[in-house]
Amino acid sequence: MHIVSRIMARPHGTPARGCPASLVAQYNHVVPPAASLPEILERYWGYTSFRPLQREAMDAVLAGQDSLLVLPTGGGKSLCFQAPALLRDGLAVVVSPLISLMKDQVDTLTGNGVSAACYNSSLSSEKKSEVARGVREGRYRLLYVAPERLVGEGSDGFLSLIGAQKLSFIAVDEAHCISQWGHDFRPEYRQLGQLRDRFPGVSLHAFTATATTRVRRDILTQLGLREPQELVGSFDRPNLVYRVLARAGLKKQILDVLGRHKGQSGIVYCPSRREVDALAAWLADEGYRARAYHAGLSDVERHRNQDAFLNEEIDIIVATVAFGMGIDRSDVRFVIHAGAPQSLEHYQQESGRAGRDGLEAECVLIYSAGDFLKWRSMLEKNGELSDARRALMRDMERYAASVGCRHKRLVGYFGETFGKDDCAACDYCLGELEGVDDAVTLARKILSAVARTGQRFGAAHVTSVLRGQASEQVVLRGHDQIPTFGLLGDASIDEVRGYIDQLIGHGLLRQTEDGYPVLQLTPEGVALLKDAGAEPGLSLARQKKPEKGRLPRRSKVESESWEGVDRELFERLRAMRLEIARGRGVPPYVIFHDTTLRELARLKPTSLAGLRTVYGMGTRKLDELGAVVLETIHAHAGTSA
């Protein structure tokens, strides 16, 4: 495409693969004196407002006050150290755990006209010298480094390099890596506390998406933050639509989700490598552009598949939990869990990779009660099944089987109160679940089965009794002879398990926490069982059978974000973006986010002045890409007129 090749001709040539564009971009970076944060945001990022807590976090960085910012994935943490770095005097050092993360951020910054570089083990010695020279010449505003550059053996050379510069501040990204209670503990992070002694006058700022208090405390103490400003944002992700499906024909359930996301990208998480390989092969056979990712693949293959996903060569990655941090692709439109994860923390992290750009995305959990049994036996075999892990798993199990607003439950789990009654973005609030007619009678049947089996059995056994399954255990205990045997003969296992979990949620049943979880009646449960009077507030629900050919109701955020968008133009702009990205050797989301493309396809600006007002269109983007964007819009108008 001729239009693209023109803007691809960069003054310094296209950077080689694996080498950030920033290493070769040497334009002078001049921030006008007395520029303000809003001006910086507008000029370099094309953003006109702050997201929640960004202003406060940036002010702390500007004031040189130590800080900890906790925001969910996609909340906009990076901007909180990037924007102030342009206003403060000196070099900002950013500690980041992964080379791919650094590379993405540096590419994005460079594309926005901010001079930044990274210094890590992936660079050749010439590149390292080049960056070192840049640092000495004061050419960069931000320098991304791995923790081992700053602490431990072999860090002396680098420390004396930056020690000779004026540092504006040090930002520690993915700061939960410092904590053994976090997901991604990294021993090198543990030593970062030494930075305080080494650079006593430089403020430290930590950033993480991990909400638990224990991890937060760990970050504060390990880093030795001084009177830090602690900012913890809301963990709700309003643009994510959550659905939970009891597993019943996994492949068909997956195809249903994919049918709602034609040509879009997503992740399918599986609990084991074997399942990953099988599902990836099946999807490829079905004609989807899908590949596998797990720790059992060779390094080369794993990287090849990950890059293919990031560079939009494929749409779907089928993966174990090994696929995660460092995935900055912002237009992931669905995350399917083909099996329950171990904990809600895991679920929040993994599903949270959807919709980082703030546009609608769907998170579907397809689970069965057996998933948890598998986890338990696997952890037990590895000697890792602690009480804490069991409890975490039970919370996940309860979420999966619960009926009620998913957003409310998820944020509630992380200690937050959810203000809305209807999130309009989960299966419950979108009316995909149906209430049972006589919940009280149903509840009594179940409570009675628990009572009559002596409150000594788990949900699986009670379910067998209620469904009238004369299993070996049931017969052995004589439970096929009791009056509750077969009372729910028509219901599926998932349905009955779902009801049991709802009764736990309503506080009518409880599961013992020690050893094998046994169902017991709570005093409220006993009261309901004895009391002939109805309990007006009790409701129980099950999955509605979908009407043939009818798609689920759209979430509000989905309808809104597509409103007025010319889809054909959007696709053209996507193709344009892909070509620019290929030419530059960077992933497409580094060029423009989908949010920007949708706004372009909605507003269809015809002049540079019009383009300037579009979300995500900073000055450098406008200078470099404005013409090609206008030409694409123009060409589309020509063909569609």
Nearer Cβ to ligand ADP (327/569): 327
**Closest distance to ligand ADP from the beta carbon of 41 (Å):** 6
Nearer Cβ to ligand ADP (55/247): 55
**Closest distance to ligand ADP from the beta carbon of 210 (Å):** 12
Residue whose entry in the numeric block shows the structure tokens 């409880």: 510
Nearer Cβ to ligand ADP (354/442): 354
The CA distances from residue 289 to 198, 283, 285, 506, 572, in Å, are 49, 8, 9, 44, 20
Cβ neighbours around 90 below 10 Å, total:
14
CA angle, 265 as apex, 208 and 248 as ends, to 5°?
A: 95
**Closest distance to ligand ADP from the beta carbon of 108 (Å):** 8
Cβ neighbours around 271 below 10 Å, total:
20
Which residues contribute to the site for ligand ADP (CB under 6 A)?
Answer: 47, 49-51, 54, 71, 73-79, 330, 356-357, 593
Q: Please report which residue ranges of 166-246 form alpha helices under DSSP H.
A: 187-190, 194-198, 213-223
626/615 Cα distance (integer angstroms): 13
β-partners of residue 316 are: 266, 290
Nearer Cβ to ligand ADP (50/293): 50
The two tokens of residue 239 are: 């643009």
**Closest distance to ligand ADP from the beta carbon of 233 (Å):** 9
Cβ neighbours around 325 below 10 Å, total:
18
Nearer Cβ to ligand ADP (73/120): 73
User: Are the C-beta atoms of residues 629 and 621 closer than 8 Å to each other?
Assistant: no
233/416 Cα distance (integer angstroms): 10
DSSP 287: T
Q: How far, rounded to the nearest angstrom, does the alpha carbon of residue 218 sit from its chain's CA centroid?
A: 22
The two tokens of residue 234 are: 């809301």
**Closest distance to ligand ADP from the beta carbon of 156 (Å):** 31
CA angle, 371 as apex, 510 and 213 as ends, to 5°?
A: 65
Residue whose entry in the numeric block shows the structure tokens 């998820």: 410
Nearer Cβ to ligand ADP (67/469): 67
Nearer Cβ to ligand ADP (54/203): 54
Q: Which of 436, 434, 435, 456 is nearest to 445 (CA)?
A: 436
**Closest distance to ligand ADP from the beta carbon of 426 (Å):** 22
Nearer Cβ to ligand ADP (115/596): 596
DSSP E strands: which ranges in 30-81? 67-70
β-partners of residue 207 are: 69
273 three-state secondary structure: helix
**Closest distance to ligand ADP from the beta carbon of 99 (Å):** 17
**Closest distance to ligand ADP from the beta carbon of 95 (Å):** 14
Q: How far, rounded to the nearest angstrom, does the alpha carbon of residue 348 sit from its chain's CA centroid?
A: 7
The CA distances from residue 340 to 392, 415, 510, in Å, are 12, 22, 21
**Closest distance to ligand ADP from the beta carbon of 83 (Å):** 9
**Closest distance to ligand ADP from the beta carbon of 154 (Å):** 29
Q: Please report which residue ranges of 506-618 form alpha helices under DSSP H.
A: 523-530, 556-562, 567-584, 594-603, 608-612
CB contact set of 469 (below 8 Å; sequence gap of 6+): none
**Closest distance to ligand ADP from the beta carbon of 593 (Å):** 5
Q: Determine the residue with CB nearest ligand ADP.
A: 76
Nearer Cβ to ligand ADP (190/593): 593
DSSP 44: I
DSSP E strands: which ranges in 209-309? 229-232, 240-246, 265-269, 290-293
**Closest distance to ligand ADP from the beta carbon of 332 (Å):** 12
Nearer Cβ to ligand ADP (77/497): 77
Kind plus residue range of the DSSP H or E element containing 337: strand 332-338
Nearer Cβ to ligand ADP (109/145): 109
Nearer Cβ to ligand ADP (147/355): 355
91/168 Cα distance (integer angstroms): 5
CB contact set of 381 (below 8 Å; sequence gap of 6+): none
**Closest distance to ligand ADP from the beta carbon of 359 (Å):** 11
Pairing of strands 509-511, 519-521: antiparallel
CA angle, 92 as apex, 88 and 18 as ends, to 5°?
A: 135
Nearer Cβ to ligand ADP (414/499): 414
Nearer Cβ to ligand ADP (112/306): 112
**Closest distance to ligand ADP from the beta carbon of 607 (Å):** 23
- The three-state DSSP-derived secondary structure of 394-406 is HHHHHHHHCCCCH
